[in-house]
Amino acid sequence: MRGARVHNLKNIDVDLPRNALVVFTGISGSGKSSLAFGTLFAESQRRYLDSVSPYARRLIDQVGEPDVDAIDGLPPAVALQQQRGTPSARSSVGSVTTISNGLRMLYSRAGNYPRGQKMLYADSFSPNTPEGACPRCHGIGRVFEVTEKLLVPDDTKTIRERAVAAWPPAWQGQNLRDILVSLGHDIDKPWKKLPRKTRDWILFTDETPVVPVYAGFDLDEAREAKEHDASPSYMGTFASARRYVLHSFATTQSHRTKKRVSQFMQISECPDCNGKKLKRESLSVKFTGLDIGELSQLTLTELARRLRDAANTKPSARDLHREKAIVAQRIASDILARVEALTTLGLGYLSLERSTPTLSPGELQRLRLATQIRSQLFGVVYVLDEPSAGLHPADTKALLGALDELKQAGNSLFVVEHHVSVIRHADWIVDIGPDAGTHGGEVIYSGPLDGLRDVEESHTARYLFGHEASESTSAATLAKSIATQSGRPKVSTTSTAAGAPRQPTGWLKLEQIERNNLQSLDVEFPLGVLTTVTGVSGSGKSSLVSQALVELVSETLGQKKAVEAPNGEVDLLERELETTTGGRIVAGMKHVRRLVTVDQKPIGRTPRSNLATYTGLFDHVRKLFASTRKAKARRYDVGRFSFNVAKGRCPNCEGAGFVSVELLFLPSVYTPCPVCRGQRYNEKTLEITYRDKNIAEVLDLTVESAHAFFAEEASVLRALDALLQVGLGYLRLGQPATELSGGEAQRIKLATELQRAQRGDTLYVLDEPTTGLHPADVSMLMSQLNGLVDAGNTVIMVEHDMQVAISSDWIIDIGPGAGDEGGLVVAQGPPAKVASSKASRTAPFLFS
């Protein structure tokens, strides 16, 4: 590869071996993804797309043409990238792995049919086909219902007083009431006094009569007008409350409408198929005594056991259904091989029907990896980001085995990784850096692992071979050394847990927790210290910490959980299917006043939110601009300097700075706005300067240069200091939220917390905060978290990184196994104590 300039890459050249495991290393923001995904994968995809029809091209998410001079010898690439945040499509483990297809074939060809029933085609076992879907719920497994109680919450009201609350507000609602008047109904009687028949018709009828409407007339006037054939104000169409609610929910484009009408609906399990989504005949076919719905609910481990039995049963010569038995054996062994690829990768606790949005990004990636192993492709390059994410060290071996298998099948692997055991397994290392953003983007080293030892400026080398490797229990030591060596401002660390663990100031006690695989679990979290919850994948860590703990605490604090899906959509199905937490908090809440969950989800979904707006720093900057003499003379207020407010922004791009150009058959491309040339503001606004820079130029400053520029403005400096502390000095103030990595988003959230006045009563909850972080970044993260604890707060996190676990004050190890074999507290206490536990599968990796 020659001359790559994507994002922060500095016109770099690199030669990579094929048929090898190439691992890209470097600190967060150094440019690893820009190289592996942004350049190599993007270019491979572009070339592939050049060879397909424009129509097919449109169906593929295109990543755009990378800025690179030349790449020779590039194989076709398959990206197995982790989607952080929200996988939107509603798919399941069975569909993603295509194992469900196999099962349908198995039931169709080798299932046990009730006497006299005709054989069904495989399609009949899919809820997504008309042949298979339960006719009552159309294959959803749930039915939507409206009841009088929901539609008319207060039956003492009259129709005029909007007894039918479900009807639309404003003009449309008025229209429906006028129609009822025309139809001869009394809209001034309390709802409950109306005859049953009338009430049912208004709420539930499917009829949609079109009637003359006399706007504003009362019952008598309307009757008279109709008798005299007076010409009506207009003709109106009636819709019952039920029709309106169900129709709007299904068809509206507006989030607000959808949210509004969803309050009037309820969902329950379909009584015909009991939530199994299939028609009765399909459910009557059994395999090992179970229908296909029941089989899909088994854990993969249990499914494998049953398939193994079927695959090993040799059909006897006298068997009446010999042919069927042979077919059953064939199909079962094929499915078994695919299920085993999943159980080997530590996913045996999942079931086929588990929906993908409930999986972690790491689990989803491993699902797809296992599917690829069975695909028998060769000559391709697989590009992966951090496949070790979410994996307990005990499971990492299986992952390396899977990567080796793909390589042996004749493929190349490009992997972005931070995990030492994966790095050590690499045939070739490409270390990017030396630092992040503009201070990175260069190839520090490219070659076999051993050669990295002598590369002084490499953080990775220092971590793998240097003195930090032996002393790395002290996260703060490393953080300090990195902060000074890379010219970042020094990280302040007053204490670390590595020496003597801190003493808890109290206990948060939870009792009888019920959630997923947790059954009536009692657990105590120490307050005022840093706790790591460990355990193999699927043992129940997230169920305990990110789900049960977060829900119970926020409930107690009265912070209500939003019912919105993460993508902002109201997803009634998901909401209703959500498992609820059983159990309660019995002690300790008097020490917790605030709950903050710090995750890697984007800080905003549009380019309109950025670093400066999210941290609140931009409010102060706008105040500074509004208080300049020229702004005052022109009466420009703070709103003038917001690109989200019409008066100050560029009218052409409405403050976005770019415009999208729609191209037929190609993805739309964004180009800088021709009017403001990407500056987002109108000419008049840009005439105002603060210390010789206009507002657009200020947004273009990096955090580092802004720190010097605003040296005398304490209010702005506070946020900038916090951002520097978490190592984000290289980001531009106006950097759109959409351009930030998960790790960067997480650190911005932490920085926002750090600049708050500390009251010492906050509970911070983090789920695998080190995902995507280089060991050097992990040290920085740890010193931030230690800072929060030193200020009197509590930190509880789920982690697989053993260095993190060792340097925390307290460990709670969940297990012993995954799924049904987990869900218990196996060991707890200071790291040294947990390390000596015989039962814990984590213990051998602590201090090893």
* Residues of the shown chain interacting with Zn ion in the complex, contacts defined by CB under 5 A: 134, 136-137, 270, 272-273, 650, 652-653, 673, 675-676
The least CB distance from residue 774 to ligand ADP, in Å, is 8
**Which residues in the 652-711 window bind ligand ADP by CB under 6 A?**
none
Residue length, the chain? 848
539 sits near ligand ADP (criterion: CB under 6 A): yes
837 sits near ligand ADP (criterion: CB under 6 A): no
Among 1, 12, 21, 26, binds ligand ADP (CB under 6 A): 26
**Could you tell me which stretch among 21-29, 58-66, 320-328, 581-589 binds ligand ADP (CB under 6 A)?**
21-29
Among 419, 541, 649, 680, binds ligand ADP (CB under 6 A): 541
Residue type, 461: A
**Beta strands at 693-694 and 689-690: parallel, antiparallel or unpaired:** antiparallel
> Which residues, at least 6 apart from 27, have a Cβ–Cβ distance to it below 8 Å?
433, 435, 436, 440, 459, 727, 774, 776, 777
Among 1, 34, 765, 802, binds ligand ADP (CB under 6 A): 34
Binds 785, which of ligand ADP, Zn ion, none (CB < 5 to 8 A, cut-off by type)? none
Pick the closer one to Zn ion by CB: 128 or 652: 652
CB-based contact 621:613 (threshold 8 Å): no
Among 45, 240, 388, 741, binds ligand ADP (CB under 6 A): 741
**Which residues in the 344-383 window bind ligand ADP by CB under 6 A?**
349-350, 354, 358
Binds 273, which of ligand ADP, Zn ion, none (CB < 5 to 8 A, cut-off by type)? Zn ion
Spatial distance between the Cα atoms of 347 and 340, rounded to a whole number of angstroms: 9
Quick note: the x/- pattern for ligand ADP over 562-581, rule CB under 6 A, is: -----------------x--
Torsion (CA) 446, 451, 457, 460 in degrees, nearest 10:
80
Binds 272, which of ligand ADP, Zn ion, none (CB < 5 to 8 A, cut-off by type)? Zn ion
In the chain, what are the helix, strand and coil shares in percent, each to the nearest 5? 40, 15, 40
CB-based contact 119:108 (threshold 8 Å): yes
Other CB atoms within 10 Å distance of the CB of residue 15: 13
Spatial distance between the Cα atoms of 613 and 624, rounded to a whole number of angstroms: 15
Q: Which of 782, 766, 742 is nearest to 482 (CA)?
A: 782
Pick the closer one to ligand ADP by CB: 275 or 819: 819
Binds 652, which of ligand ADP, Zn ion, none (CB < 5 to 8 A, cut-off by type)? Zn ion
CB-based contact 768:386 (threshold 8 Å): no
Q: How many binding residues for ligand ADP (CB under 6 A)?
A: 31
Pick the closer one to Zn ion by CB: 567 or 652: 652
CB-based contact 609:737 (threshold 8 Å): yes
Pick the closer one to ligand ADP by CB: 26 or 504: 26
Spatial distance between the Cα atoms of 653 and 644, rounded to a whole number of angstroms: 11
Spatial distance between the Cα atoms of 371 and 346, rounded to a whole number of angstroms: 14
The least CB distance from residue 133 to ligand ADP, in Å, is 23
**Which residues in the 774-793 window bind ligand ADP by CB under 6 A?**
none
Residue type, 542: S
The least CB distance from residue 738 to Zn ion, in Å, is 18
**Could you tell me which stretch among 91-99, 148-156, 205-213, 533-541 binds ligand ADP (CB under 6 A)?**
533-541
Instruction: Give me 520's structure tokens.
Output: 């009536």
Whose tokens are 């298979």? That residue is 132
The least CB distance from residue 130 to Zn ion, in Å, is 14
The least CB distance from residue 799 to Zn ion, in Å, is 42
C-alpha to C-alpha distances, 574 to 97, 360, 564, 577, 819, nearest whole angstrom = 22, 16, 9, 5, 22
423 sits near ligand ADP (criterion: CB under 6 A): no
Pick the closer one to Zn ion by CB: 134 or 798: 134
31 sits near ligand ADP (criterion: CB under 6 A): yes
Q: Which of 129, 122, 93 is nearest to 107 (CA)?
A: 122
532 sits near ligand ADP (criterion: CB under 6 A): no
Among 139, 232, 275, 437, binds ligand ADP (CB under 6 A): 437
The least CB distance from residue 338 to ligand ADP, in Å, is 18
The least CB distance from residue 577 to ligand ADP, in Å, is 9
30 sits near ligand ADP (criterion: CB under 6 A): yes
Among 1, 4, 22, 28, binds ligand ADP (CB under 6 A): 28
The least CB distance from residue 767 to Zn ion, in Å, is 35
7 sits near ligand ADP (criterion: CB under 6 A): yes
The least CB distance from residue 446 to ligand ADP, in Å, is 15
Spatial distance between the Cα atoms of 358 and 350, rounded to a whole number of angstroms: 11
Pick the closer one to ligand ADP by CB: 293 or 819: 819
> Which residues, at least 6 apart from 742, have a Cβ–Cβ distance to it below 8 Å?
84, 85, 600, 601, 602, 771, 772
Among 526, 535, 583, 816, binds ligand ADP (CB under 6 A): 535
C-alpha to C-alpha distances, 590 to 556, 679, 763, nearest whole angstrom = 10, 49, 12
Q: Where are the beta strands (DSSP E) in 685-806?
A: 689-690, 693-694, 762-767, 794-798
819 sits near ligand ADP (criterion: CB under 6 A): yes
29 sits near ligand ADP (criterion: CB under 6 A): yes
User: How is 11-36 classified by DSSP, letter by letter?
Assistant: SB-----SSSEEEEE-STTSSHHHHI
Binds 99, which of ligand ADP, Zn ion, none (CB < 5 to 8 A, cut-off by type)? none
Q: Which helix (H) or strand (E) holds 69?
A: strand 68-70
Q: Where are the beta strands (DSSP E) in 712-809?
A: 762-767, 794-798
**Which residues in the 84-103 window bind ligand ADP by CB under 6 A?**
none
Considering only CA atoms, give the Rg of the chain.
Answer: 31
Pick the closer one to ligand ADP by CB: 685 or 741: 741
The least CB distance from residue 681 to Zn ion, in Å, is 8
Among 4, 21, 32, 295, binds ligand ADP (CB under 6 A): 32
Among 301, 493, 537, 679, binds ligand ADP (CB under 6 A): 537
Q: Which of 294, 282, 327 is nearest to 113 (CA)?
A: 282
Binds 134, which of ligand ADP, Zn ion, none (CB < 5 to 8 A, cut-off by type)? Zn ion
Other CB atoms within 10 Å distance of the CB of residue 666: 14
The least CB distance from residue 325 to ligand ADP, in Å, is 33
542 phi and psi angles, rounded to 5 deg: -70, -35
CB-based contact 510:783 (threshold 8 Å): no
Among 1, 4, 8, 488, binds ligand ADP (CB under 6 A): 8
Pick the closer one to ligand ADP by CB: 242 or 747: 747
The least CB distance from residue 132 to ligand ADP, in Å, is 23
Spatial distance between the Cα atoms of 456 and 634, rounded to a whole number of angstroms: 56
807 sits near ligand ADP (criterion: CB under 6 A): no
Residues that bind ligand ADP (CB under 6 A): 7-8, 26, 28-34, 349-350, 354, 358, 436-437, 516-517, 535, 537-543, 579, 730, 739, 741, 819
